[in-house]
Amino acid sequence: MCVMDNFFIILPAFIFTIALLVSIHEFGHFWVARKLNVKVLRFSIGFGMPLFRFKGKKDNTEFVIASIPLGGYVKMLDEREGDVAEDELHRAFNRQSVYKRFAIVFAGPFVNFVFAVFAFWLMFVIGVQGVKPVMGKLDPTSIAWQSGLRSGDHIVSVDGEQTPTLNSVYEQLLAAFLDRRAVELKLSDQRRIIFKFEQIDKSIEISSLHEIIGLSLKLPIENVIISEVTPGSPAAIAGIQSGDQIISIDGQAIDHWRELVASVINRPGETILIEIARNGQRQQLLTTIGSVVKGSKTIGRIGVRPESVSPLPESMYTMHQYGVFTAIPKGIEKTWDLSVLTVKMLGRIVIGEASIKNISGPITIAEVAGQSVKMGIESFLRFLAIVSLSLGVINLLPIPMLDGGHLLFYLIEMVKGSPVSDMVQEIGLKIGITLLVMLMSIALYNDFSRLLN
């Protein structure tokens, strides 16, 4: 039942997300083409067999919703795709100046960025709730501890940017981590500490960011009681039973379920000493942590479930929001920062400094869409904004078949004063198709690997 419930959330969320963002992208092409008096023959959301269609009053443009909701297109009058009546030649796309063609093609990804700004703006106006970045127990081997951060410290800004939530702290640290540069954290007691990311090897994946930095929340103390032990799991082999209370791991007190998870998840294959309390008696058990591949990372598990996990108290949360007008520059800033981050991440993948396992496809998008819907409107707006700006960035890549490939040809035409030859465009088209097929194959492979794991 749970699987079906998730399916009925994930599927509509995915279809809505793709349909909305594709519609926005294609509307950019459509609207500018209309404004520049280029005739639009068809506006299609999706590919394949039409499910719904109607014709508009202006130019008899056909509007289509097709069966495969993984893209869309705007078909314009063009002599290269069919005969054009003499009296309509001036409205054919191929007859327009290079600057008009550039504007029409650029409008698609540009509107994706505009929508991302709008989604972030609305998110900030509604308000963003998150956990306060107040530190709990820190690993002495982590960057956080070695840089001088201690339990109880409250991070208020990173490189001058206010960080009201732990999520906002990580967003600022992520950019510095990718650049391998030092970053300054300001604490509520006015102390300032430096994280020196330039000392971290470039081969270390971004998926290891949380583990390397080692930030942890200050959690309320509660007993960690085991309700279920998976048969044949490392915990079962070690002798842990339902009803046992976890007291410590390797001498470090475990006062919350999240602390147990943190002590295990980053140590697959290691042997640990678990102290438990059973029937009023304490005993110590050696346990070798199991491993599970999740995405591009191997994580540790011992095979236990908690009796209960209390929700975090309200005092740990904060809500920050902006006024209607002050949220506008915040939305623009957020879109710019994440767009730059996306470009840097793609660049690191191209030069081999980041794994291609970071590339995601439609299955991952569908899963995240469903999760963000369940988490609330703020989370879903953030998701829509990130996917929209990602579409904008990807479509601007100078790859033939994408908008960026066409824009590259138009820029060359502006410089040399004549169009790129048909032969060069045909070669570019074949290269573009090959690259896109490879990209989609990698994305789908990664999706299925994550799904199976």
| Cross-strand pairs, 74 | 43
Q: Which CATH architecture has domain 128-217+313-320?
A: Roll (2.30)
Structure confidence at residue 7 (pLDDT): 60
Structure confidence at residue 258 (pLDDT): 87
Angle subtended at Cα 143 by Cα 153 and Cα 271, rounded to the nearest 5 degrees: 105
Checking 373-380 for CB contacts under 8 A at 24+ apart, the result is 373/9, 373/13, 374/9, 377/126, 378/123, 378/126, 378/127, 378/128, 378/129, 380/13
Tell me the residue type at 212.
I
Q: How far apart are CA 122 and CA 321, in angstroms?
A: 10
Can you read off the two tokens belonging to residue 410? 């138009």
List, for residues 201-245, the tens digit of each pLDDT value.
777 777 677 878 888 888 888 888 999 999 999 999 999 999 999
Q: How far apart are CA 47 and CA 228, in angstroms?
A: 48
The ranges assigned to domains in the chain are: 128-217+313-320, 224-311
Structure confidence at residue 4 (pLDDT): 46
The answer to whether 265 and 257 have CB atoms below 8 angstroms apart is no
**128-217+313-320 and 224-311: identical CATH topology:** yes
pLDDT in tens, the chain (453 residues): 344 446 667 777 777 888 888 899 999 999 999 999 999 999 998 888 888 888 888 888 999 998 877 788 899 999 888 888 888 899 999 999 999 999 999 999 999 999 999 999 999 999 888 889 999 888 888 889 999 999 899 999 999 888 998 888 988 888 888 888 899 999 999 999 999 888 787 777 776 778 788 888 888 888 889 999 999 999 999 999 999 999 999 988 888 888 888 888 888 899 999 999 998 899 999 999 988 877 667 788 999 988 777 788 888 888 888 999 999 999 999 999 889 888 888 777 776 666 666 666 555 665 666 666 666 788 888 889 988 998 899 899 888 888 999 999 999 999 988 888 878 878 887 887 777 777 667 666 565 565 555
C-alpha pair distances (Å), 404 with each of 105, 173, 408, 409: 8, 30, 6, 9
The matching CATH number, chosen from 2.30.42.10, 3.90.79.10, 2.40.30.10, 3.30.40.230, for 224-311 is 2.30.42.10
Sequence-separated (6 or more) residues with CB below 8 Å from residue 297:
205, 207, 208
Active site residue 367: no
| Cross-strand pairs, 286 | 273
Residue for token pair 């602390």? 259
Please identify which of the residues 26, 275, 367, 378 carries the catalytic annotation. Answer: 26
Q: How far apart are CA 44 and CA 276, in angstroms?
A: 62
Structure confidence at residue 237 (pLDDT): 92
Angle subtended at Cα 218 by Cα 215 and Cα 219, rounded to the nearest 5 degrees: 125
Structure confidence at residue 450 (pLDDT): 57
